[in-house]
Structure 1
Amino acid sequence: MILLQVQQVTRRFGATVLFENVSLDVPEHGRVALVGRNGAGKSTLLKMIAGETTPDVGQITTKRGLTIGYQAQNAGLASSKTVWNEMLDVFATLRAMEQRIHELEQQMSDPNIIADQEQFTQVTKTYDQLQQDFSDQNGYGYQAEIRGVLHGFEFGEEYYDKPINELSGGQRTQLALAKLLLERPDLLILDEPTNHLDVETLTWLEGYLQGYSGAILVVSHDRYFLDHVVNDVYDMAHGGLVHYPGNYSHYIEAKAERLRREWKEYDKQQAEIGKLEDFVNKNIVRASTTKRAQARRKQLEKMDKMDKPEGDEKVARFTFRPHRQSGNVVLDVVNGAVGYDQQILCAPVNLDIKKHQAVAIVGPNGIGKSTLLKTILGRIPAIQGQIIFGTGVDTGYYDQDQATLHDKKSVLHELWDDHPTTPEGDIRSILGSFLFTGSDVDKSVHSLSGGERARLLLTKLALRHDNFLMLDEPTNHLDIDSREVLENALNEFDGTILFVSHDRYFINQVATQVVELAPAGTTRYLGDYDYYVEKKAEQDAYAAKEAAEAEAANPTSDAPKQTQVDYQQQKEQQKAKRKLSRQVDALETKLGDLETQKSTIETAMSSPENFNDAEKLADLQAQLTAVTTDLDATEEEWTEKSLSLEDFDG
């Protein structure tokens, strides 16, 4: 069943068309993503769907009685109520029922009502029905539900009595989303819900949304999040909307394949047009061939000419090139501590970074990830330990707060003042490669969007030509296209990288190792983010098993406390097992699909109509090779994860 339909919708701003004739469906229980670069109109379309604005052309229809919950980007709760009371408001109906149940209980103990058999029967009947309704609507569990969601967003009991208007903007935004999740509308519309969430909260939110009973329509630049939550992607580009079934990774592959196919068909038609035009030009004036040339010209006139395929819009082009090479040892941090004013957040901190490594720093919000970078740079005094840079290390720093930019300068002078001997034309050319063209270079830095400021910072960093890049949340404010450009630039960088990021897809693409910060210090994992998650799950499972064996061998008076610890560890182990089981199921489904694709291609190759078509056979062979390669890789991954799943039961 379709819950909502966008039908041939257009939005104009004056004479400018932002998008036109776009259509989108949200099915029951659907998980739909809307992607596209900044400024394409994604948030504008969401506001229309949420009913905040109306289309200039077209219509949006919904299932009768559909409830919609909309979370705008960075929209926080404005309330003077406490956190707990604000969440309780969601369950006002249940609380009224609860109050009525207590009133009926008092009536049922009233001697006068007990003496009146008819009245007592009526009160009892009403009480039984109300209690049943209360139970069916989770009346006995709604407070636990509130605690669970607040805990997911890292609001412990110490926050329950705090007025919301005294919290930070980021916290109020998270509470707005928490309240929306508790309301459980039929359709959740979320605009960048992952902004400023740490990895632990992101992981919790993904799990919550995977189990959400309603439908979800989401705009997000977090590709890892999209891969784990959605199963339909709509790409907004060139003023239109194209639908791709599947998650984000499938969308990337399908979009690339569509463009390849369109270019092939376009080039084939262009070659045919060229031959026809060449024949007409050579033969139209010859008496012996003029009729044939006229026929070719009519053929050209009647031809339904294809438009040139539209690929991605212009993207930034840049590289990081060091002026010189560093020594093999780039940075050592020995028994360091992260914190402010002698208050230690994380210790001991030990880093051993070698040339050409790309090290990601992860950990919960507030643990001191950004503080660690600033301490290494000497911007914050080290509380303890040693920080030792290697020979020939030139350090470049990307500040997530963008504090190194000068608001009163123009874009041009922000760069030119750092490189006064470089000709203006060269500065403009460099800015152009970062998408600052024409009058953009005369804009004041103060007037730039977050994404534009991020690109300007990257421009300045690229021009320094350092061999050791320290990056603090470099993907914040960047759209997906810009993130991919940055990933490519960093992967081609002939230097060393230390970065903080909550963008798990970005970490997977760039990191050669992950260092986790925790109150007890640093732990290094020699792989990307997925490897880190896998190893953490194994460690947690092993720790739970060790604790259970120790408790069985040596029970103590602390048994109740240890039981609680074991329970938590078992929960973590079960969570890891469920995740691995879902991955195995998904891989089994993929294997089945790939086997079907392979069989279909092989059948097509043996078909008489294709057997003598060399071009068609070559195309089918290429498809077969690609599918076979994917099949082998998927089967290998399935085998590895299946064995890991067996280890949980072993």
Structure 2
Amino acid sequence: MLVDLNNISKNYGEEVILENCNLSINDRDRIGLIGVNGAGKSTLLNIISGNLNYDDGKLFIKKGLEIGYLKQNNALDTSNSINDEIKSVFADLIKIGEKLEEMRKKGELDAEYSRLNEFFESKDGYNIQTKINIVLNGMGFRDYDKNTIVSKLSGGEKNRLAFAKLLLKEPELLILDEPTNHLDFEALAWLEEYLEKYKGAIIVVSHDRYFLDKISESICEIEDHKLIRYKGGYSQFVRQKEERVALEEKQYEKQQEEIEKMRDFVAKNLAKSASINSVGSRVKALEKMEIMAKPKVNRKKISLKFNTDIEPFKNVFHGENIKVTVGTEQKLICENIDFDIQRGEKIAIIGLNGVGKSSFIKALLGKIKFEGKARWSDNLKISYFAQENEQLNPENTILEEVHSRFPLKPQEDIRATLGMLLLSGDDVFKKIKDLSGGERAKVAFAIIMIERANFIVMDEPTNHLDYQSKEVLEQALKDYKGTLLFISHDRYMLNRVPTKIIEMFSNKFEIYDGGYDYYLSHKKVEKVETTKKEQSENSKQYFKSKEQRAEEVKLRNKKKALEKRIAELEEKIKRIQEEMAKPEIVADYIELNKLCEEMESYNQELEQKMEEWIELN
């Protein structure tokens, strides 16, 4: 066991954050930690990592446990280059490698060299650069100049570099707080594969449901200050939680019925002497009964339903040779694009940040000028959800904003729709500028629901939503009978909603007829040759260093054998010389001649072995 939390509680003043939380973390555990904002996820991680005291309970941390904690503000030496900063992980090992190289050059292949080399090999020191290349490439630094100074990197790039350093340290317990931020799809796929093979335990906080499904073997949810653990990934958690809540409510209701029946019996029979024993037994049973607390589960979820009144023609949109540029410098977004949308399709557009996905859909909607041919279907009614909902008037209240769009609609109907999104009571009088991102999104959803459009365009609709609201939105879009075009980086949504995925590049679209898993499987096929080439290069580096080590061992063994033979020959010659000095040998010409010939043979071999030893050194 690495870590064990036993009835851990934490308060901030009068505010309860965690209450009687229990959690065990063992070797190679893969734990996803979820909960609404402010539930106490970061508090729990800081307690586990030893960075925060707790108020009550017991905490066991294995002696000498190496913990690596990825936060959103990991410190880097910004004066270093990327290369120097990443190599700082192996600073001590690199020094040993440099010393070994120096000893080799000087020919000091002695016992000290053997000891250092054995330690260096045990730490996989000869593969440091290969490891660095693999992790930097995986984290999106493949095409970077590694001499770039860290201070010149963006915030997202610095976070990725800090993450790469942490992975290379390979701590026994890896704690990750929103690790998927700033990573593109390719880096995410690499990270999931890397973490799957990671030798240590992992506990991760993430809003990325697809990521949690990929790496988690259990999900821990903090709700109402308590921590509950579920087996499996995120998808299994959703099902298991629904089953648990339903069971708890059923058990509570059943117990309440039993209590009510017992109380009724006592009340009706208390005055009857014949029933006095039965009444007493019921009273005792009530006193001994462990009364279940009413399940404190927030059952309030938003409700979404996108309806449409009219059906467009089959060909919703047809575009030829579309070219989009933006800004005074006419920055090219895309060109030579042929693009069709058919009725009922649900199309997701993906692509690297900055490729121009938002600009492209704005061009289609006529908000940005573009070149080429474009033809929309007749009787088409379009609703648009902007990424930051900038179409909303910040000075309006919620009610004013929606009513301004539909002045003829009764206010009661508008408030009923807002109520479906948990915007009710005095909330409707809040100004748009004072709303959170999630609340602004709900106002935009309410407008789309009332519009009843047959074509919905959305730009990152799951941003700012909690995981429950994301589930509701995705189901509403799946049930929607109209046509949908949306941009998203949410891979869980990309797997559930679209019938087609379009990957956007500056000069082309690549179309995949399925969800994210389908897209990913086909991308893997396309990248096989590239991957093989990279693996080949890494293998070459690995086997090159392996061959070098084998050659060193061979030379070292040869030197030892020579030194042993030289010592043997010197000892033999010494003994012969001692023998030849004896009076009886001096008087025996035949024996003396025999010893002289033997010593000459040994001297010749000794001279040869000494020359070989000198060459090796």
State the AA in 2 paired with 1:100: K
Once residues 69 and 440 of structure 1 are traced to their aligned partners in structure 2, the CA distance between those partners, rounded to angstroms, is 42
C-alpha distance 416-169 of structure 1, shift in aligned 2 (>3 A): farther
Q: Answer whether contact 1:360 1:511 (CA < 8 A) is retained.
A: yes
* 1:317 corresponds to which of 268, 284, 303: 303
C-alpha distance 539-156 of structure 1, shift in aligned 2 (>3 A): closer
State the AA in 2 paired with 1:224: Y
What SS does the aligned partner of 1:127 have? helix
| TM-score, normalised relative to structure 2 | 0.78
Unaligned runs of 5+ in 2: 537-617
Once residues 540 and 82 of structure 1 are traced to their aligned partners in structure 2, the CA distance between those partners, rounded to angstroms, is 30
Higher mean C-alpha displacement, 510-519 vs 181-190: 510-519
What SS does the aligned partner of 2:126 have? coil
Deviation at residue 345 of structure 1 after TM alignment: 5.2
Deviation at residue 363 of structure 1 after TM alignment: 3.1
Once residues 372 and 296 of structure 1 are traced to their aligned partners in structure 2, the CA distance between those partners, rounded to angstroms, is 73
Q: Answer whether contact 2:76 2:85 (CA < 8 A) is retained.
A: no
Match of 2:494 in 1: 507
Identity %: 39
Once residues 151 and 446 of structure 2 are traced to their aligned partners in structure 1, the CA distance between those partners, rounded to angstroms, is 38
Deviation at residue 497 of structure 1 after TM alignment: 0.9
Match of 1:393 in 2: 380
C-alpha distance 64-457 of structure 1, shift in aligned 2 (>3 A): farther
What SS does the aligned partner of 2:31 have? strand
* 2:521 corresponds to which of 522, 526, 534: 534
Once residues 47 and 280 of structure 1 are traced to their aligned partners in structure 2, the CA distance between those partners, rounded to angstroms, is 52
Match of 1:50 in 2: 49
For the pair 1:177 / 2:176, whether they are aligned, the reply is no
Q: Answer whether contact 1:37 1:481 (CA < 8 A) is retained.
A: no
Higher mean C-alpha displacement, 220-229 vs 305-314: 305-314
* 2:263 corresponds to which of 277, 288, 309: 277
Match of 1:83 in 2: 82
* 1:201 corresponds to which of 167, 187, 194: 187
Match of 1:403 in 2: 390
Deviation at residue 3 of structure 1 after TM alignment: 1.0
C-alpha distance 62-411 of structure 1, shift in aligned 2 (>3 A): farther
Deviation at residue 353 of structure 1 after TM alignment: 1.8
What SS does the aligned partner of 1:141 have? helix
* 2:481 corresponds to which of 494, 512, 529: 494
Deviation at residue 499 of structure 1 after TM alignment: 1.1
Once residues 539 and 81 of structure 1 are traced to their aligned partners in structure 2, the CA distance between those partners, rounded to angstroms, is 36
Q: Answer whether contact 1:348 1:522 (CA < 8 A) is retained.
A: no
What SS does the aligned partner of 1:265 have? helix
C-alpha distance 445-387 of structure 1, shift in aligned 2 (>3 A): same
What SS does the aligned partner of 2:2 have? strand
Match of 1:523 in 2: 510
Once residues 157 and 141 of structure 1 are traced to their aligned partners in structure 2, the CA distance between those partners, rounded to angstroms, is 21
State the AA in 1 paired with 2:289: M
Deviation at residue 231 of structure 1 after TM alignment: 0.7
Match of 2:344 in 1: 356
State the AA in 2 paired with 1:364: L
After superposition, give the CA deviation of every residue in 1:142-196 in whole Å (9 maximum; x if it has no partner): 2232222222122234342323333322222222212221222221111111124
Deviation at residue 306 of structure 1 after TM alignment: 2.3
Deviation at residue 368 of structure 1 after TM alignment: 3.0
Once residues 4 and 138 of structure 2 are traced to their aligned partners in structure 1, the CA distance between those partners, rounded to angstroms, is 32
Once residues 513 and 12 of structure 1 are traced to their aligned partners in structure 2, the CA distance between those partners, rounded to angstroms, is 48
State the AA in 2 paired with 1:58: G
Deviation at residue 244 of structure 1 after TM alignment: 1.4
Q: Answer whether contact 1:33 1:232 (CA < 8 A) is retained.
A: yes
Aligned counterparts, 1:417-436, within 5 A:
417-419=404-406, 430-436=417-423
Match of 1:381 in 2: 369
Q: Answer whether contact 1:76 1:169 (CA < 8 A) is retained.
A: no
Deviation at residue 489 of structure 1 after TM alignment: 1.9
Once residues 61 and 361 of structure 1 are traced to their aligned partners in structure 2, the CA distance between those partners, rounded to angstroms, is 47
Higher mean C-alpha displacement, 528-537 vs 212-221: 528-537
C-alpha distance 9-450 of structure 1, shift in aligned 2 (>3 A): farther
| TM-score, normalised relative to structure 1 | 0.74
Deviation at residue 379 of structure 1 after TM alignment: 2.9
Larger Rg, first or second structure (1 or 2): 2
Once residues 120 and 61 of structure 2 are traced to their aligned partners in structure 1, the CA distance between those partners, rounded to angstroms, is 29
State the AA in 2 paired with 1:12: N
Once residues 60 and 406 of structure 1 are traced to their aligned partners in structure 2, the CA distance between those partners, rounded to angstroms, is 51
Match of 2:292 in 1: 306
C-alpha distance 237-405 of structure 1, shift in aligned 2 (>3 A): same
Match of 2:206 in 1: 220
Unaligned runs of 5+ in 1: 109-119, 545-564, 572-650
What SS does the aligned partner of 2:100 have? helix
After superposition, give the CA deviation of every residue in 1:29-65 in whole Å (9 maximum; x if it has no partner): 1111111222322122222223332223234331111
Once residues 508 and 80 of structure 2 are traced to their aligned partners in structure 1, the CA distance between those partners, rounded to angstroms, is 38
Once residues 408 and 77 of structure 1 are traced to their aligned partners in structure 2, the CA distance between those partners, rounded to angstroms, is 42
State the AA in 2 paired with 1:480: Y
State the AA in 1 paired with 2:230: Y
State the AA in 1 paired with 2:348: A
C-alpha distance 401-51 of structure 1, shift in aligned 2 (>3 A): farther
What SS does the aligned partner of 1:478 have? coil
Q: Answer whether contact 1:329 1:391 (CA < 8 A) is retained.
A: no
Once residues 152 and 33 of structure 1 are traced to their aligned partners in structure 2, the CA distance between those partners, rounded to angstroms, is 22
C-alpha distance 229-141 of structure 1, shift in aligned 2 (>3 A): same
After superposition, give the CA deviation of every residue in 1:438-497 in whole Å (9 maximum; x if it has no partner): 665565555544444443443444344332211122222322111111112212323221
For the pair 1:186 / 2:185, whether they are aligned, the reply is no
State the AA in 1 paired with 2:422: L
Match of 1:34 in 2: 33
Alignment size in residue pairs: 534
Q: Answer whether contact 1:12 1:19 (CA < 8 A) is retained.
A: yes
State the AA in 2 paired with 1:369: K
